[in-house]
Amino acid sequence: MAIMVLKELTLNSLKRASIHIHFNGPITVIGGDSSTGKTYLIERLLGERGICNSPVKYLDRIVIITEREVDYSSENGIILSRVEILRKLQENTNKLIIIDNADMILPSLNITAQDLQDSQNQFLLFSRRGRDYGATVNTIGMFDIKDNTIRTAYAV
CATH number at residue 34: 3.40.50
The model's pLDDT over 74-122, given as tens digits with 9 standing for 90+, comes to 999 999 999 999 888 888 899 999 999 999 999 988 899 998 998 899 9
Task: pLDDT band for 51, please (50, 70, 90 cuts).
Answer: low
Q: What is the DSSP string of 75-126?
A: HHHHHHHHHHHHHHHHH--S-EEEETTHHHHHHHTT--HHHHHTSSSEEEEE
Residue 113: inside a domain: yes
Residue 17: inside a domain: yes
CA distance 11 to 129: 26
pTM greater than 0.85: yes
Which residue range forms the structural domain that includes residue 23? 8-154
Q: Number of folded domains in the chain?
A: 1
Residues 121/3, Cβ–Cβ less than 8 Å: yes
pLDDT at 3 over 70: yes
Task: pLDDT band for 17, please (50, 70, 90 cuts).
Answer: confident
Environment class of 59 (CB within 10 Å of its CB; exposed 0-12, middle 13-18, buried 19+):
middle
Residue 79: inside a domain: yes
Residue 2: inside a domain: no
Beta bridge partners of 152: 143
Residue 3: inside a domain: no
